[in-house]
């Protein structure tokens, strides 16, 4: 349906046609004339594709609409106006996509939010402010991706490295060579 709406002349587009199109593919909101972008059409679009929020007029971006967008796709947070970024909205985004932490204002970030982010996306540690790079947050990231050790503050590196290596290790090291080579 996206291809049919983008080729349809604006004079033939109706609110009903546009509504059906965005319900089928939220990204088609890009082809809806600005004058036809109603709250209902925008809601249908972001419920189908959270990142469609980028094509929603600023005047129609409400906290509720932005929450629906990040509930559908956490990375839609990058298109949410700063004035609408509440702790609830940001936590919802991070729960769905740890990398969304990149777009959370530092003032909204908490240790709990950062921990949840690195548990699903260890590289999100790069977006954890220094004061929130606690042992727990750093250890969670390094347990999932040892390469994240480079992002751990110097004061915690030895502790995190020792804790992570004791838990991770290389599971094939303990196997006899004959078993390890079967794979």
Print the SS3 string covering the chain: CHHHHHHCCHHHCCHHHHHHHHHHCHHHHHHCCHHHCCHHHHHHHHHHCHHHHHHCCHHHCCHHHHHHHHHHCHHHHHHCCHHHCCHHHHHHHHHHCHHHHHHCCHHHCCHHHHHHHHHHCHHHHHHCCHHHCCHHHHHHHHHHCHHHHHHCCHHHHHHHHHHHHHHCCCCCCCCCHHHHCCC
Q: What is the residue whose two structure tokens read 């996509």?
A: 97
How far is it, in rounded angstroms, from Cα 91 to Cα 159? 28
Q: What is the pTM of this model?
A: 0.83
Q: Which pLDDT score is estimated for 179?
A: 41
First-last CA distance in the chain: 47
Closest CA to 56 of 66, 42, 75: 42
Instruction: State the chain's mean pLDDT as an integer.
Output: 89
**CB 44: neighbour CB atoms within 10 A?**
21
| pLDDT at residue 163 in the model | 83
- The pLDDT of residue 164 is 77
Confidence (pLDDT) at 162 = 84
In angstroms, the CA 89 to CA 71 distance is 9
User: What are 153-183's pLDDT values in tens digits?
Assistant: 999 999 998 887 765 443 333 333 334 433 3
The whole-angstrom separation of Cα 164 and Cα 143 is: 5
Residue 1 has pLDDT above 60, yes or no: no
| Residues contacting residue 150 through CB under 8 Å, at least 6 positions apart | none
CA distance 7 to 165: 57
């Amino acid at each position: 349906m996206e291809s049919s709406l983008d080729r349809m002349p604006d004079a033939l587009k109706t609110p009903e046609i546009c509504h059906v199109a965005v319900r089928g593919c939220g990204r088609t909101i890009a082809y809806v004339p600005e004058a036809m972008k109603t709250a209902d059409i925008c809601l249908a679009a972001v419920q189908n594709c959270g990142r469609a929020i980028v094509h929603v007029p600023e005047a129609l971006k409400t906290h509720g609409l932005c929450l629906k967008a990040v509930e559908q796709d956490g990375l839609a947070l990058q298109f949410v106006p700063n004035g609408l970024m509440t702790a609830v909205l940001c936590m919802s985004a991070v729960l769905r996509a740890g990398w969304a932490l990149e777009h959370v204002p530092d003032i909204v970030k908490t240790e709990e939010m950062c921990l949840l982010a690195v548990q699903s996306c260890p590289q999100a540690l790069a977006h954890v402010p220094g004061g929130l790079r606690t042992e727990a947050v750093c250890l969670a990231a390094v347990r999932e991706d040892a390469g994240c050790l480079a992002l751990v503050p110097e004061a915690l590196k030895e502790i995190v490295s020792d804790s992570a290596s004791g838990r991770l290790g290389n599971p094939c090291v303990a196997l006899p060579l004959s078993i390890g080579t079967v794979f």
